[in-house]
Amino acid sequence: MKPFLIVGAGFSGAVLAREIAVQLNHPVLVLDERPHVGGNCHTERDPATNVLVHKYGPHIFHTDRKEVWDYVHQFDDFGPFVNRVKASISRGIFSLPINLHTINQFFGVRLRPEEARQFLAGKGDASIGEPQNFEEQALKFIGPELYHAFFQGYTKKQWGCDPRELPASILKRLPVRFNYDDNYYYSPYQGIPRTGYTHIIQRILDHPKITVKLGTLFKKEMLKEHEATFYTGPLDGYFDYLHGRLGYRTVFWDRFEGEGDYQGTALINYPDVNDPFTRKIEHKHFMPWETHAKTVVFTEYSKETTADDVAYYPKRLKSDLELLARYQEMARLESREKNLFFLGRLATYRYLDMHQVIGEALDFSRKFFAWQVDPKKAICPVFSGQ
């Protein structure tokens, strides 16, 4: 019996491996080129402070899908955590997402919810019909003052381009609230695993039918040695960047270690373009049930991704989507010939949160199992999320 091969030991690969092992009782080999499981969700104890650090940037688990919430709870207990982001600008510290407190504080007014709604509507640019880009979306719905204070500079730093080059859909994900709710997410289920994300993925992969090999590069010759292959790495990378690289932004950090409490919260954004960094992350605040005399802070910077960088945020500009279509067509042809499937953030070139990755892996596994039972009746998609 040839094992299934899964390339990547992040949430996509781990969840799919577990489902195959449990549901099909079939051996699975999981490869990852990194020396640890967890992908960009990897957490580890900082040796100098004993703070649990999100090594590749902050990850707050949130979902409105109870099945996903119940799934991760099989592998660790979650402590309560509400993401209350602050923004530091020259005028002071403000709450994000924009809410009634932000509006009243920023404009120096004392508005009730409906008054604030009408007030902000009056700030918007009514001459903009259907917004064609990020900047137009912001100007239409929140007006120039809030846009320039909180979004314009931050967006330039985060994405490395003018906001007018970005699609309007990016800003649609950022809510405006006309109450004092400063919870960054609407999701009913939110928290942080008490033992860390790496611990969860280690437990997901802890099954007698699953073998994990770390520090191991995937080679296409491996395809013929396995019943089927599930690839969660970069889609363009699978094809050796034959038509060029898909556009990503990456991030990097300066580390600061000190005594006590540095900023009083986990995340503070710095929207001012004069600040070269985008935000500061104080990791111990992600686990408020722990007590630490010392602290560790990461100052985050954003830049264009090169061949040696970890890809984080897909840019999805027009040129990227045209290139994506070419790679997707190649993937479909390759899949038919080699029993090959693509899933996860990198392989589908989409920005996905952890809960979306887990949910898609669960959904994909069900489609794959149905297809295994009866290929004539069931269709197994080449890409997760389809």
Catalytic residues: 173, 177, 249, 279, 300, 351, 353
- Residue 273: CB atoms within 10 A of its CB come to 13
Q: In sequence order, what DSSP letters do the residues of 91-128 get, joined into one string?
A: TEEEEES--HHHHHHHHT----HHHHHHHHHHHS-TT-
Burial class for 359, CB neighbours closer than 10 Å (0-12, 13-18, 19+): buried
CA end-to-end span of the chain: 29
Burial class for 13, CB neighbours closer than 10 Å (0-12, 13-18, 19+): buried
Q: What residues does 79 pair with on adjacent strands?
A: 192
Q: In sequence order, what DSSP letters do the residues of 338-381 get, joined into one string?
A: HTEEE-SHHHHT----HHHHHHHHHHHHHHHHHHHH-TTT----
User: Six-digit token pair at 305?
Assistant: 């991704």
> Do the Cβ atoms of 215 and 33 come closer than 8 Å?
yes
**Which stretch of DSSP H or E encloses residue 71?**
helix 66-73
**Which stretch of DSSP H or E encloses residue 88?**
strand 85-89
> Do the Cβ atoms of 319 and 366 come closer than 8 Å?
no
Contacts of 179 (CB under 8 A, 6+ apart): 99, 100, 113
